[in-house]
Structure formats: C-alpha cells, structure tokens
Amino acid sequence: MYNNRKAGEFPKLLEGIKPGAAILYSAKMRKKSLGAGCVRERLPVTLLLVLYIILCIMAVQVSGCSDSDSTRKERPSLVVFVAASLRDVVQEVGLSFALTHDVDLVYNFAGSNTLAQQIKASRAADVFLSANVDWVDFLEKVNLLVPGSRRNFLSNRLVVVSRKDAHFQFYNPLDPHDSFDPRALATLNFSFLALADPEAVPAGRYAKAFLESVELDGGSLWRALKDKVAPTADVRAALGLVESDPMIIGVVYRTDVTTSDKTKLLYEVPSTLHPAITYCATALKDRPNSGLVEEYLDFLSSPDAAAVYKNYGFLQETRTFEECMLRKTWVKP
C-alpha cells in the first residue's frame, strides 16, 4: 500500500544481498588472516586490491539492478513530491486515482522547503504538493512551473485542544464556531498553552496570529496568555504536551486531532483570524505525461478527493485567492 513495489519483487533484493554479503564476509576473513607471515600464506597485495575493487563494482551493480526494476515499467509514472504532513491523505487519494488511471505514482515525502530545493536541483518531479505557498512562489520565480497549473487544493483549520479527560468542555458540535467566546481563554484555569514555536514554525505563527486577533481590555488575548505559552519544536510536539497533562491545552491543526485518540476538541478557530492555512498543488515544466498530470491535479479538486480529505480532518480548498487573503479580528456575533 505504501509504495509501488509488488510483493513479488522483494526476493530480488534479497537475492542481490546474499551473494554480496557472502563475498564481503569471506573477503573480510581473508583480510584478517592476511599477514600470516609464513612464506606459503602470503597473498599478493595487488590481488587483494583487485578483489576489493571487484567487490565494490559488484555491490554497485547489484544495487543498480534492483533499482532499475522500478523504472523498467510499461506504465507511465508520475513523480509526486509531497509535504510530509500530507503523507497519508495524498496516498489514499492516489489509490483512488490509480483505480481509474493507468499510472504508477512515485512519492517523495519531506519538508516543503527541502522538496522545493530538490525540484530546483534535479527537475525530477511532475507534481509538487506544498504545505506552504511561499515555496511554490520560489519555484515560480525560477520559472519551473507549468503556467496556470498552480492551485490551492487543500486547507486545514486551527483548533484548541485538551486531553480527553480534562475538565474543560466548551465544544458544541452543532455550532462549532460562533457560540464560543474565545476571550474566555483568558480566564480559563490551565497550566500551559502548548504551541509550535511562533518564531520558527508556521503552525505557531498562525496560532499567535489568531490570539493576537482577539481583542481584550488592555491588549489582545496573546498578550494575556503570553506567559503561559509553552513553545515546542513543531506542532506534533505541542500535541504531545497536551496528551501528557490534562492541565495543558494547545493550539494545533485539526488534522492532528483526527489522528490522536487522546485529545478532545475545545474550539475550532475561524479561518479568518489567521493567515490562510492552505496547501498548494502545481505541475512542473518540461516533464512527460503532462496530460496525466493535469488529470491528477483535477482529481485533487474533485468531490471524491474531498471525501477523503474530510476523513483526515482536512477541507478541500474552495476559497478564492482573495478570500484566502481576507483577514479579520474576532467579533462577537
């Protein structure tokens, strides 16, 4: 499920390793017993060096074999570079896509910045799914995008969460946004507010923006809660903090809560209170199978895909570019 190798191809890898390992082992043994000193047991130095070089070449060849298998396919393949946080959702959408299209999907999961650099250096990707609009801008500036192909296809929400057994309770499933007054957070009795580091991590920046947009007497919610903030290296670490202590609440992505069964949702932050958390998809230029790429990108915006996104806590992005840019402060309805 998680990669495109069929089960039957694994033995080839094994077969490659076994003789390689055997030769490696015997060469090591021979090297160890070398230098016996007796006239009869001397191995010429050149012979050993030649043996070593042959061994290296063999190892490289064997590795090369098992890799070329995946490129010797009759089916076309699409190389999709995906932000790591989208791993599961994209793979599942890809499965649906592969049901109706004759294609091999090859994924590369990493941070959006790494992926963008790799694309620029290698020109080896067909599609780029980025968690951050900035990195798509980066590739656009160096003219690597197929013009007009970029689109925001996915969005996420910020949520305030606590541990399941905490005594906080103000999530109304019937009316998640408007009935709760976030100013109440200022007087809530909790020990720490766990956030991804607002200085470094996007999730943290969004959380801080949300808190700053809620006005209180004498400042903003952020100012009131600043001293209780526990910044973490990334949003998953913030989630970990929340899971560890019922007195700690946190601001994380909605998708993080979906995968965690130890937390409960307290409040879903209106998306206008922080910069849009939007994921951008784009096609890259000078690649084969451009028709297939277009179909794939369209599929990402299809209703079938929307259903999958919902399961994971994402939302299919339907806002326009202008709507994404819209920002407000919180207003009591």
Partner 1 sequence: MSPEIWSVILLTLQVALVSTLLVMLPATVLGYVLARYEFWGKSVVSAIVGLPLVLPPTAVGFLLLRLFAVDGPLGRENLGFDFNILLNWKGAVIATATMSLPLVARTAKATFEGINPRLEMMAQTLGHSRLTTFFQYSLPMARRGLLAAVILGFTRAMGEFGATVTIAGNIPGRTQTVAGAIFSAQQVGDIGKADFLMVIAITVGFLAIMSTELLSRGRRLHGMAR
Partner 2 sequence: MTGTQLPTLAPTLDALRVNIRLSLDRFDLDVDLTTAKQVTGIFGISGAGKTSLLEAICGLRRQAQGRISLGQDVWLDTDSRTFIKPSQRHIGYVPQDGLLFPHKDVRQNLLAGSKRALQNGHALHQTFDIVTFILELQPLLNRDVTTLSGGERQRVALGRAICSGPRLLLLDEPFASLDLALRRKLLPFLRRLRTEFHIPMLFVSHDPIEVQALCDDLIVLKDGAIIAQGDPREVLTETQIFPLAEQAGFENILPCRLLDGNGSTSRVRLGEGEGDQSCTVELVTLRSEAQPGDAMLAGIPANDIMLATKRPEGLSARNVLPARITELRSVGSVDLVTAEISPDLPPLTVEVTEKSFVELGLQVGGEVFLVIKATSCRLYESGLSAM
Residues that bind partner 2 (CB under 8 A): 35-39, 42
Q: Does 204 sit near partner 1 (CB under 8 A)?
A: no
Q: Which of 15, 18, 30, 52 binds partner 1 (CB under 8 A)?
A: 52
Would you tell me the crossing angle of helices 202-212 and 235-244 to the nearest 10 degrees?
70
Point out which residues pair with 194 in neighbouring strands: 230, 250
Near partner 1 by CB under 8 A, which window of 15-23, 165-173, 183-191, 197-205? 15-23
Vertex 53 angle, CA 52 and 56, to 5°: 90
Of the pair 64, 288, the CB lying nearest partner 1 is at 64
Determine which helix (DSSP H) or strand (DSSP E) holds 81, and give its type and residue range.
strand 77-83
Six-digit token string for 184: 């109440």
- Total site size for partner 1, rule CB under 8 A: 56
Judged by CB under 8 A, does residue 85 bind partner 1?
yes
The CB-of-51 to partner 2 minimum distance in angstroms stands at: 21
Answer for which of 239, 248, 266, 276 binds partner 1 (CB under 8 A) is 239
Residue identified by tokens 């798509």 is 136
Go through 51-70 and write b for each residue having 16 or more CB atoms within 10 A of its CB, e for each that does not.
beeeeeeebeebeeebeeee
Q: Decide whether 30 or 177 has the Cβ nearer to partner 2.
A: 30
Q: DSSP for 246-262? A: TTEEEEEEHHHHHH-SS
CB nearer partner 2, residue 29 or residue 200: 29
Structure letter (DSSP) for residue 239: H
Task: List residues binding partner 1 (CB under 8 A).
Answer: 1-5, 7, 10, 13-14, 16-17, 20-21, 24, 31-32, 34-35, 37, 42, 45, 48, 52, 55-56, 59-60, 63-64, 66-67, 70, 81, 84-88, 106-110, 114, 117-118, 120-124, 236, 239, 256, 259-260
